[in-house]
Amino acid sequence: MQLIRCPWCGPREEVEFHYGGQAGVAYPADPAALSDEDWARYVFVRDNPKGRFEERWSHAAGCRRWFTAVRDTATYRFER
């Protein structure tokens, strides 16, 4: 049971958290202006690196705040 550091609550057990996928994928400013392909890229396509990955997490069973964390997908280690 890994510990994840919530920026508001400190280290808590991973079961309290909800995974939110890749961080930094902003909602397009004007979706209507995007081509179908660009929109599909936003909706469906995410990075899947081995190693360092910026992710969104939500402290779902705690303070309910979303935050961005950097995790190594090979070792599961979070950067502090």
Partner 1 sequence: MSRVDGYGRIDRTRTLTFTFDGAQYTGHPGDTLASALLANGVRRIGTSVKLDRPRGITAAWGEDPTGLVQIEEPFPEPMLLATTVDLVDGLVARGLGGRGRLAEVPDTARYDRRHTHCETLVVGAGPAGLLAARTAARRGDRVVLVDDRPAAGGALLGTERICGRDALDFVADTIAELRADPDVRILPRTTAFGHYDDGFVLALERRTDHLAEPPRNVSRQRVWRIRAGHVVVATGAHERPVVVEDNDRPGIMLAASARDLLHRYGVRVGREIVVFTTDDAAHGAAADLEAAGARVTVVDPRPGAGGSATRQAQVVGTRSDAEDGAVTAVTLDDGTVLPCDTLLLSGGWNPTAHLFSHVRGALRYDAELGAFRPGEPLDGVTVVGAANGTFDLAGCLAEGRGETPEPVARTTRVVWRTEGDPARQFVDLQRDSTVADIARAVGAGMRSVEHVKRYTTIGTAHDQGRTSGVIASGITAELLGVPVESLGTTTFRPPYTPVAFAALAGRERGRLYDPERTTALHAWHVEAGAVFEDVGQWKRARYYPRPGEDMEAAVLRECAAARTGVGILDGSTLGKIDVQGPDAGVLLDRIYTNLMSSLKPGRVRYGVMCGVDGMVIDDGTVLRLDEDRFLVYTTTGGAAPILDHLEEWLQTEWPELRVSLTSVTEQWATFPVVGPRSRDVIGAFAPHVDVSNAAFPFMSWLDTEVDGVPVRLARISFSGELAWEVSVDGWHAAAVWQRLLDLGAPYAITPYGTETMHVLRAEKGYPIIGQDTDGTVTPQDLGMDWVVSKKKPDFVGRRSFARPANLDPLRKQLVGLLPVDPDLRLPEGSQIVELTDALPPPPVPMLGHVTSSYRSAALGRTFALALVKGGHARIGERLTVPVGEALVPVEVTGSVVFDPEGTRRDGEPGVH
Instruction: Note the residues at the interface with partner 1 (CB under 8 A).
Output: 1-3, 11, 18, 20, 26-28, 30-32, 34, 36, 39-40, 42-44, 56, 58, 60, 64-66, 76
- 6 touching Zn ion, by CB under 5 A: yes
Which amino acid is it at 14?
E
- Cβ atoms of 78 and 71 within 8 Å: the answer is yes
Applying CB under 5 A, the site for Zn ion has a residue count of: 6
User: Distance between CA 58 and CA 17 in Å, rounded?
Assistant: 6
- By the rule CB under 5 A, 8 interacts with Zn ion: yes
Tokens representing 31?
């979706």
Instruction: By CB under 5 A, name the binding residues for Zn ion.
Output: 6, 8-9, 59, 62-63
